[in-house]
Structure 1
Amino acid sequence: MMASFTDAEERSENIRDLVDALERASVTPTKQRTVKVSTIVDAICRHAFDHGLDQDALRRVVQVASRKTELDQTSVTTLIKNLYPSQQVPAHVVVTVVGGLGQGKGKPSPGTQNGLVKWLTMVRDIIEHHAILSRMYRVLFNMLDMISIRTSLCHLLSLITRRKHVQPFRIQQLLALSRGLGNEPALQGLLRVYRDYYPDIMIGSTSITRNSFPPQLDPEWQIRLIVIKETSIAARALNSEQHNGFRVARKGAKRGRASLIPDVHTFHANETSVTLEEIDSVEDFVDKLDRIELPGQLISILTDPLLQKFVALKPSVIATTRIQLWLSAFLEDEYKTAKSGNPTSTFLSEILDGLLEQTQYTKVLLPVVSDFLSEYLRVWDGISDVDAILGLLSFVSLQNFKDAHNTYFSKVEQAVVTQNPQNYERIIPFYTDVLRQWMNEASSKQPPPQNQFALSTGSQKMVNDLVTHVTNMSLSLIISVPQGSHLSLVSSILSFYELVSSSSKPNHIPIMLPSLYLTYLLVQDTSTTTLSRICGVIGNYKNAFDKHPVPIKDYYDPGMTNIFNWCLRDMFHLLWIPRALSFTTGKCIGMYCDPQLRHALNIYLGDLGRDYSIGPSFGIAVNPWLSSLSAITWMELEEVEVRKQGLDSDTVARHQGPISRLSLAALEKDGGITVGLDEYKVNVLLYLAKRGHGGIKELMFATASDLKKAVNPTRQA
């Protein structure tokens, strides 16, 4: 990290030196220069292309380009073409550019002025104070008589014109220019913008050609700007503020292909109406909400956050119907195309991505979209637009799980997994998103009467059926997929149960336990992280039962609570006390280890040495996945106690491990430190928690609350 800051400082120093040299060259006649100016310009342009110009460098280079200097036209043009900002463009830079336009002795050449206007058009979305161009509107408009910059200026004005700019005297001036110049495309395009705001005043139609509209921005320049912004720390921080959600979105830098979804544009507005294009702040939006007119094409709601807010806050039957009709016609055509075996249009991906963005905002799947998906999934290949389709289906409303599975989920499972069995790793996260949506809906339902048995309401049964389906699927997958190749699958299963175990809500979301078979398989996985996470899940369930209204038997079947108690005892025996895999009728099941097998294992270990037995073999001090961390905990704890007791570090008796109650007693007799076994094991739990394995601590503390008292804070490792 330090090297990165050093490199940035070195680049900053270098660009400052280069700009200093450029400023000196700009006031020095060619014959008096000692350094070739093209070398300086090339170096600045390379830096700008690779890293962008910071605000200070940008300001100084623009000042050079915006006045008449000793630089040749080629150098100035090259500089303007490479004015890549690494941060947002300050308002004073915009003022400098506008001040360099027009006629006068100190003004730059017409070609330079035209390049500066085009540059303003390209960076208008990343200007620090977006209102600055609006404030400079009068100055820019009064330069329309300049032939050299008129076309570029009309394009810029077309993009920044708002209702407040459309004044009668400007309308007259534009009409006069139009009559004198004929059908100049760019001027006619600006007239069209004016006419959209006041169609009743500007009677008649303007001549519209392809060149009437602002041209698409240089894609290579825009792509380069995006790369610079993504690699600039300062630019990334400012970029999050670039679009505050209260201005209409314009497809600029990232628009690399044709788009079916148009920008927001309001047609046939009148003098008293307000358009979304005029809104530029949250205060402005709130003040004018009741007077805003619906834009021309409401399908822009798929990509425009401001339009999404407007439709959500001011719903209307007209708006909903218009959106539904457009989507219905488009999606029906796409379905018929796919059903006939032909490839769908290139616009389907754009629409599905837009629908996902809109659905994520509203949290509601439009009926026309759910109808389309129920049919389209029959012919879907399981590959195209998979992220968008799974994302949309995760918002399927709470309903009978069997119906939802027959209509949507079974088709998704078949389509996705048919392409690659490993794609089940995508199905579990998908069901996690569905569960989150369903639990949110179930939580908002009217609660049943108090003391009513769990799973007695329809919504509770629906959520439980979903969890049961994923449990059965997960158990099948864990058994089927070889160990070592299923890490992401196990992680997704654990994420699902982390959500289930921490989301129970009395009378709304029941406590839904995973299968004991699945739980024990995960406990025996060869990963410390997996062990910690499944322990955390069990601990969450224990906390959920502790916080639940009592008596528990009034809400849950005794068989369910018995199963969970078996699990708690098995885990406590496994990790904490030396009774791993023990079976006691009605109390614990030994993680399904047959008693005869446990006896045989115990005999085998006893033959290896009298200190070995099956009971303590999985304890926290010797567990195969935890033993190295437990050993480190002991060494740190031992050093703390040696210093605290003032013992000689070189001669004090050291424990060689593994730790047990007998070995600790023997250590004390040999002159070593005095530490209780429970205190040591609690320190292991705390050490594991500090290193990201806190699930084991949470389970042990939830199972035996008195363990928290077994550690002295002054003696923690």
Structure 2
Amino acid sequence: MPSFADAAERPTSVHDSVAALQKASTTPPKQRAVKVSGVVDAICRHAFDKGLDQDALRAVVQIAARKTELDQTSVTTLLKNLYPSQRVPADVVVTVVGGLGQGKGKPSPSTQNGLVKWLAMVREIIEDPTVLSRMYRVLFGMLDMISIRTSLCHLLSLITRRKHVQPFRIQQLLELSRGLGNEPALQGLLRVYRDYYPDIILGSTATSRHSFPPRPDPEWQTRIRAVQETNTAANESILEQHNGFRVLRKGPKRSKISAIPDVHTFHANETSVTLEEIDNVEDFVEKLDRLEPPGQLISFLTDPLLQKYVALKPAAIATSRINLWLSTCLEEEFNSARTGQPTSAFLSEILEGLNRQTQYSKTLLPLVSTFLKEYLLFWDGLSDVDAIFGLLCYLPLQPFEDAHGTYLGHAEKVVVARNPRAYEKIVQFYTGLLRQWMNQASPYWSPGQGQRHPALTSGDQRHLNDLVTHVANMSMSLVLSVPPGSGSSLISSILSFYELASSSKLKSVPIMLPPMHLTYLLVQDTSTTTLSRICGVIGNYKIAFDKHPKPIKSYYPLEMTNEFNWCLRDIYQLIWVSRAFNVTENKSVGLYCDPLLRDALNTYLSSIDREYAIGVTFVLSNNPWLASLSAAAWRVLEEDEIQNQGLDRDYVNWHKGPVSQLSLAALGKNRGVAVEWDRYKVHVLMYLAARGFGGIKDLMFATSIDLKKVLNKS
């Protein structure tokens, strides 16, 4: 018998393979022209790599959900590789449920069991989340089937809600339990029922690790995550998406070693409404006032739904319960750290939970700030760095000296002592802290105010300025300490800090400039990205000054505005007008290049070639970090102009480069394209911006208003 790979009618797509499988499923093995194993391999290979679209998935499920001529090995292989590339349609779920049970046309018990397990694994990515709920009575009616009872109990445990817990079902479960003994999966389902009606279902339900639905197979979960991310272009896997309006279940394996319990309402009755039965936002809003709090409110550290409940329905007793749990637990951990003993394995989980809760509420619990104040004195600087820095980001706005003396100084010192390269993480932390303080600060000016106050010396703005000054001093030291070309990630963190500080449109945030020395160091860094980003930062500050209430001198000292103007002129002359390192009294400092050094460099360059000069060394065409991009931009412009001006490509005089004002003038007179110097430079700016280097364009357009006119002409 020929193999599938050698068949003359070899399918060219997954749909061809599915069609071949459909034909093979109705053809007895001895009458087939090709081996079915080849068809199955082709489908599974495609499903593993790219997933099955809805049509292919629907067709394969229809084959698996009925009795066919396919062998059991082929069907089992198909079920194990049934990776959907999109959300699972509701009709596919109905087809699967329709294939369960006893009957002449039903698939084998092994296949049925595989179908139920597949439903449990894909239930979070079903298009219509209610379809399984509507099929509940059909699924429950199949509990007498031994072959699928375990998987069916696991599936029912996942989809059971209060409306499904009816007296006749309780009675049937109790009868099955008495007849079968302590069957783990059945006892797990009975425990779910008991959570809803503890007063009706009396006695204990014996549970074990087999009582709860197992976690998806790690290999299967990893593969479906990759398939879904590829096809949906999502940042997170659909399997892990959670709408925040359903109780989060972590599974039995994690809950056994977790300090933070799952959400369970232990004292519910027939009239109460519990968080466990909430499925969507409408349900939550409608029943908010009638919800019963769970047995352990500390679960709000990890459960998004309980977080919303605690935030929207505050109560003194709830706060007291949470604080009592936290104070007891954190005090034990602090005592261990203070006496030199190792903290428990649960501290990391608690701190991560507190970090998530704080990110949600945007408020640091007073109990947590008190704990951090003492714990940081004994912290090792290695464990839970991200969680601790995440919590410290939400310190309330206060004098920076107080915050640094109480919290931040200790954290900086111990982290750097353990890891000298941790400054990048520290700068990232200060970026997060600055973001929170900016949101908390009160405005220092309003459109209708009469009396004006200096921005950097009043109220909350002084605290913000002290924070930025601290990071500026740290950044200067770090940039000078890092060998050229080796601190890209650190420099990126510093730039991110100033991008945040410079781009705020809040009236509460004053203009806080980086030191000129730091700016000039970054302008001369050996990275095109760094040059673009620091230019973007300076451009943001220029726009901020332009939009600020006038007169500026009423808010900012003259020395500050003068230095900023010098900085603008220096960068403008460096990149745009061929006057690099020019020093003009009270106008520019030439990037602090000594005039004698500039003259020496200029003399040296002139001795090499009379057209060389220090002033043109850093313009767009010659700049070491922009020259190749500028050349590519010119080629694009030259090609367009040859076509627009109707020139003959075979006889045109092509520019040899690098482009300069004189070379463009000569080119237009000597069988070349005619392009104005300013138009070329604007074209280069737009070309750079289209490739992720928009900071240079932003600065030049903010500095020179004439460039927009040039852009409109082109």
TM-score, normalising length: structure 1:
0.87
Question: Relative to 1, partners in 2 of residues 1:35 and 1:631: Cα closer, same or farther, differing over 3 Å?
Answer: closer
Distance change (3 Å), C-alpha of 1:35 and 1:563: closer
Which AA in structure 1 matches 2:474? M
Deviation at 1:47, TM superposition (A): 5.9
Percent same amino acid among aligned pairs? Answer: 66
Matched, 1:677 2:677: yes
* 2:22 alignment counterpart: 20
The alignment status of 1:217 with 2:215, answered yes or no, reads yes
Deviation at 1:655, TM superposition (A): 5.2
The AA in structure 2 aligned to 1:171 is: I
What is the DSSP-based 3-state SS (H/G/I as helix, E as strand, rest coil) of the residue aligned with 1:422?
coil
CA shift, 1:518, in A, is 0.6
Q: For residues 225-276 of structure 1, what are the alpha-carbon distances to aligned partners after superposition, in whole Å with 9 as ceiling and x for unaligned?
A: 5455456515959828953332222336996994443332222212222122
Distance 2:567 2:458 in 1: 27
Q: Which moved more, 1:464-473 or 1:657-666?
A: 657-666
Q: 1:104 to 1:446 in 2, by over 3 A?
A: farther
| Alignment partner, residue 560 of structure 2 | 560
TM-superposed deviation, 1:477: 0.9
**Does structure 2 retain, via aligned residues, the 8 Å contact 1:186–1:211?**
no
Residues 347 and 656 of structure 1: is their aligned pair in 2 closer, same or farther, counting only changes over 3 Å? same
SS at match of 2:26: helix
Secondary structure at 2:514 match in 1 = coil
Is the contact made by 1:155 and 1:186 (CA closer than 8 Å) also made in structure 2? yes
Q: C-alpha displacement at 1:279, in angstroms? A: 1.7
Report if aligned partners of 2:17, 2:39 keep a CA contact under 8 Å in 1.
Answer: no
C-alpha contact 1:65 1:76 (8 A) present in aligned 2: yes
Query: Is the 8 Å Cα contact of residues 48 and 81 (structure 2) preserved in structure 1?
Result: yes
SS in 2 for 1:455: helix
Comparing 287-296 with 42-51, which one deviates more in the overlay?
A: 42-51
Q: Is the 8 A contact 1:62 1:97 kept in 2?
A: yes
* 1:220-231 equivalent positions in 2, closer than 5 A: 220=218, 222-224=220-222, 226-227=224-225, 229-230=227-228
Contact 1:570 1:580 in 2 (8 A): yes
Deviates more, 1:472-481 or 1:628-637: 628-637
- 480-489 or 580-589: bigger deviation: 580-589
Cα offsets for 1:109-151 (capped at 9, x unmatched): 5555444444433433333322222212222333334445444
Aligned-partner residue type, residue 466 of structure 2:
D
Aligned to 1:422: 421
Q: Partner of 2:389 in structure 1?
A: 390
Give the aligned residue type for 1:548.
H
Instruction: Write out per-residue CA displacement over residues 521-572 of structure 1, whole angstroms, 9 at most, x where no aligned residue.
Output: 1111122222222122111111111111011111111111111111122222
CA contact (8 A) 1:394 1:430 kept: yes
The residue identity in structure 2 corresponding to 1:216 is P
Q: Secondary structure at the match of 1:364?
A: coil
* Distance in 2, Cα, partners of 1:228 & 1:700: 43
CA offsets 1:387-439 (integer angstroms, 9 cap, x no match):
33332322222222122222332233223323333322222222111111111
Q: Distance in 2 between matches of 1:210 and 1:231?
A: 34
For the residues of structure 1 that align with 2:690 and 2:267, how far apart are their CA atoms? 63
Structure 1 residues 68-77 or 356-365, which shifts more? 68-77
Name the aligned partner's letter for residue 490 of structure 1. Answer: I
> How far did 1:46 drift?
6.2
Distance in 1 (CA, whole Å) between partners of 2:699 and 2:253 is 48
Moved more, 297-306 or 660-669: 660-669
Equivalent position amino acid for 1:267 in 2: F
User: 1:81-480 maps to which residues of 2 (within 5 A)?
Assistant: 83-181=82-180, 184-202=183-201, 204-210=202-208, 213-217=211-215, 219-220=217-218, 222-224=220-222, 226-227=224-225, 229-230=227-228, 232-234=230-232, 239=238, 243-251=242-250, 258-442=257-441, 450-480=451-481
Question: How many pairs were matched up?
Answer: 701
Letter in 1 for 2:21: V
Work out the CA distance in 1 between the residues paired with 2:646 and 2:69. Answer: 80
**Which residue of 1 is the match for residue 704 of structure 2?**
704
Secondary structure of 2:273's partner?
Answer: coil
Distance in 1 separating the partners of 2:652 and 2:337:
79
Q: 1:200 to 1:514 in 2, by over 3 A?
A: same
Output the CA distance in 2 between the equivalents of 1:440 and 1:31: 75
- The 5 Å alignment of 1:521-670 reads 521-641=521-641, 643-646=643-646, 656-667=656-667
Cα 1:184–1:468 change in 2 (3 A) is: same
1:245 is paired with a residue whose SS is coil
1:491 aligns with 2:492: yes
Change (3 A) 1:82 1:663: closer
User: Partner residue of 2:5?
Assistant: none
Moved more, 687-696 or 45-54: 45-54
- Whether the aligned pair in 1 keeps the contact of 2:24 and 2:32 (CA below 8 Å) is no
SS at match of 2:456: coil
Change (3 A) 1:619 1:393: same
Distance 2:524 2:683 in 1: 23
Q: Distance in 2 between matches of 1:110 and 1:634?
A: 70
Contact 1:229 1:235 in 2 (8 A): no
| Aligned equivalent of 1:6 | none
Partner amino acid, structure 2, of 1:16: V
> Structure 1 residues 333, 56: closer, same or farther in 2, change over 3 A?
farther
CA distance in 2 between counterparts of 1:219 and 1:556 reads 62
- Give the SS at the match of 2:441: helix
Asked if structure 2 preserves the Cα contact closer than 8 Å seen for 1:41 and 1:75, the reply is: yes
Q: Secondary structure at the match of 1:351?
A: helix
Classify 1:452/1:23 alpha carbon distance in 2 versus 1 (closer, same or farther; 3 Å): same
The CA distance in 2 between the partners of 1:382 and 1:47, in whole Å, is: 48
Distance 1:190 1:459, change over 3 A: same
Q: Does the C-alpha gap of structure 1 residues 690 and 118 become closer, same or farther in structure 2, counting only changes over 3 Å?
A: closer
Post-superposition shift, 1:591?
1.7
Equivalent position amino acid for 2:138 in 1: V
Counterpart-to-counterpart distance in 1, 2:479 and 2:44: 57
Conservation of the 8 A alpha-carbon contact between 2:24 and 2:70: no
SS in structure 2 opposite 1:326? helix
Name the CA distance, whole Å, in 2 between partners of 1:162 and 1:196. Answer: 10
Partners of 1:21 and 1:40 within 8 A in 2 = no
8 Å contact 1:265–1:295 — kept in the other structure?
yes
Secondary structure of the corresponding residue to residue 486 of structure 2:
coil
8 Å CA contact 2:186–2:211 kept in 1: the answer is no
SS of residue matched to 1:618? coil
- The separation in 1 between residues aligned to 2:486 and 2:659, in whole angstroms, is 34
Shift of 1:468: 0.5
Letter in 2 for 1:213: S
Query: Would you say the 8 A contact 2:225–2:237 is kept in 1?
Result: no
Where 2:421 maps in the other structure, the secondary structure is: helix
Counterpart amino acid of residue 159 in structure 1 = L
2:6 is matched with which residue? none
Q: Give the C-alpha shift of residue 164 in structure 1.
A: 1.1
Aligned-pair CA distance for 1:37:
6.3
Cα separation, partners in 2 of 1:405 and 1:103, compared to 1, 3 Å: same
Between stretches 45-54 and 117-126, larger displacement belongs to 45-54
Distance 2:152 2:220 in 1: 20
Distance 1:320 1:268 in 2: 20
Unpaired runs of at least 5, structure 2: 1-10
Which stretch of the first structure deviates more once superposed, 468-477 or 568-577? 568-577
Residues 330/38 of structure 1: CA separation in 2 closer, same or farther (3 Å cut): farther
Distance 1:515 1:196, change over 3 A: same
Q: Distance in 2 between the 1:42 and 1:244 partners?
A: 36
The one-letter code sitting in structure 2 at the alignment partner of 1:560 is M
Answer whether contact 2:444 2:453 (CA < 8 A) is retained.
no
**In structure 2, the residue corresponding to 1:210 is in which secondary structure?**
coil
Q: What is the rounded CA distance, in whole Å, between the counterparts of 1:87 and 1:259 in structure 2?
A: 33
